Amino acid sequence: MAQGARIFRVALVFGVTTAITATVAGVWLNTQAEAATSTYVTTAKLNVRSGPSTSSTILTTLKKGAKVQATAAASNHWVPITYAGKKAYVSADYLKATAEALVSKTTTKTTTVNVNLRGEPSLTADIVTVLKKGTPVTVTSNTSGDFTAVTIGDVDGWVATRYLTADAPDPTPAPDPKTTLYINANGVNVRALPDTASTKVATLALGTPLQATGAKQNSFTAVLYDGETRWVYSIYLSDTKPKITDLGSTSLNKLQPYGKAAVLAIRAEFPQIVSIGGWRSYSAYSSDHPSGRAIDVMIPNYKSNKALGDSVAAFMIANAKTLHVKYIIWRQRYYPISRGTWSKMANRGSDTQNHMNHVHVSFYAS
C-alpha cells in the first residue's frame, strides 16, 4: 500500500475522548484506506476550530505534545474530531507520528481548594462533581484558557488551573492533645479556609475548646472541628479558658459551663430575646434545671411570635454538637438530638408547662 494511502488514528485527551488523522514524515494522508491505530502528538500549539478553516472560531488550544485521535479521514489538510460532544477540526500539519509520540506523559496534581469539576473548560459549563481540597487528579498537557483537563478514576473533566498544584498539600499536622485553644469572644466564625470570604462552617460561643494543629496562615489558626481541619481568626483564640462569671442573674450564674456558653450564643444570635431562665432549686419533671444543665428561652409575645421560637429551636438543633445539647422542648413537642425528630408530648395543662411560651434546652453534663 502506498504511503499516501495509509490512515493513522490517534487520541486527543480533552477530558472527553476525541479523534484525528495524521501525517507521517510530513506527508499528508487523506484516503479512506484501512486504518492502523497508533498514538500521535501535536508538534506545536494547535487550535481546535469549529470548521475546516483558519477563519473558523477557535474552541480551544492544545499544547505542544497533546495526544490526538481522528473521527474520520481528513480533507484538504483539515481533520474532523469531536470536541465537547460536537464536531470540530484541527490542522494535520502539526501532528507527529514518531516513536516518542507513543509515550503519554501524565502528572499528578492536587486540588488546593474545594473546586468544581466541569464537563467543558468554561465557568458556565455543567458541574460534574465537586472535588474536595487535596483530591489527587491525573493531568496531561491539555489546557484550554484558564482550565486544565483532568481525570479522577473513570471520570474526565476540566478544573480551573489556578486551583491545582503539582505537589500534594502539606499534610495536616497531628493535633497535640496538650494544645487546646479556646474561643475568647462570642459568635466567632469557623471557616473552611483561612480567608474571611471562605465558607462559614460554624459559629462558636465564648469558651468553646478546640484542638490546634500548629498551622497558621493569613492571620488564621488551623484547628480541628468536627474531625476536619478548619480555620479561626487567630485574635479570637486564647491559650487559657475564659471565665464566664456574671450573666446577669443568679439563675444563669449557677448554670454549668455548657449552659452558660449557650446563653451567650443565644444572646448574640437573637438580640430580641430579653429573658432566659436557668438554674432553679426544684423541677417536677427532671433534674436538669436543679443541676444547672437546662435553660428556658422565653419568647416575647409568644402567641403571635411562634416564628422566633422556631428559629431558636432550629438554631440549637443546628449547633447541638458545638453547644452539647441533649434535647429540646418547644410547643408541646420533644426533640432528642440522638434521635433527630420531633415527637408530641402529653398536655401538662398551662402554656408554660406545655412550653408554648419558651424553648427549653437541656445539656449534657460539663
7-32 pLDDT, tens digit per residue, is 333 333 333 333 333 333 333 333 33
The string over 149-174, giving b where at least 16 C-beta atoms fall within 10 Å of a residue's C-beta and e elsewhere, is bbebeeebbbbbbebbeeeeeeeeee
Cell numbers for 123: 465557568
The amino acid occupying position 193 is L
Asked if the model's pLDDT at residue 337 lies above 90, the reply is: yes
* Local confidence band at 173 (pLDDT 50, 70, 90 cut-offs): very low
Residue 3 clears pLDDT 70, i.e. is over it: no
Place of cell 438543633: 317
Q: What mean pLDDT do residues 267-279 have?
A: 91
- As a whole-number percent, the residues of the chain with pLDDT over 70 amount to 79
Angle at 356 between CA 354 and CA 358, to 5 degrees: 105
pLDDT: which is higher, 8 or 164? 164
Return the C-alpha torsion angle 113, 114, 119, 125, nearest 10: -90
Contacts of 21 (CB under 8 A, 6+ apart): 7, 8, 9, 10, 29, 30, 70, 72, 73, 74, 79, 92
Side-by-side strand order, sheet with 95-96: 67-68, 40-42, 95-96
* Distance from the Cα of residue 363 to its chain's centroid: 30
Single-letter amino acid, residue 18: T
> Comparing 224 with 326, which gets the higher pLDDT?
326
| Confidence check: pLDDT of 132 > 90 | no
d(CA 59, CA 48): 6
The phi, psi pair for 74, rounded to 5°, reads -80, 165
- Pick from 9-13, 50-54, 60-64, 206-210: least confident: 9-13
What integer is the mean pLDDT of 107-132?
Answer: 83
Tell me the average pLDDT across 44-57.
Answer: 85
Q: Residue 4 and residue 136: Cα distance in Å, rounded?
A: 43
DSSP 8-state code for residue 109: E
C-beta of residue 193 within 8 angstroms of C-beta of residue 205: no
Mean pLDDT of the chain: 77
| Residue-level pLDDT at 95 | 61
Q: What angle do CA 320, 325, 326 make, to 5 degrees?
A: 125
3-state secondary structure of 315: helix
How many other CB atoms are found less than 10 A from the CB of residue 105?
9
Q: What is the CA angle 295-300-363, rounded to 5?
A: 15
Which residue matches cell numbers 441533649?
326
Domains of the chain and any CATH numbers: 3-102 (2.30.30.40), 107-165 (2.30.30.40), 180-238 (2.30.30.40), 250-363 (no CATH)
Q: Distance between CA atoms of 139 and 285, rounded to whole angstroms?
A: 63
Bridge partners of 138, per DSSP, are 108, 151
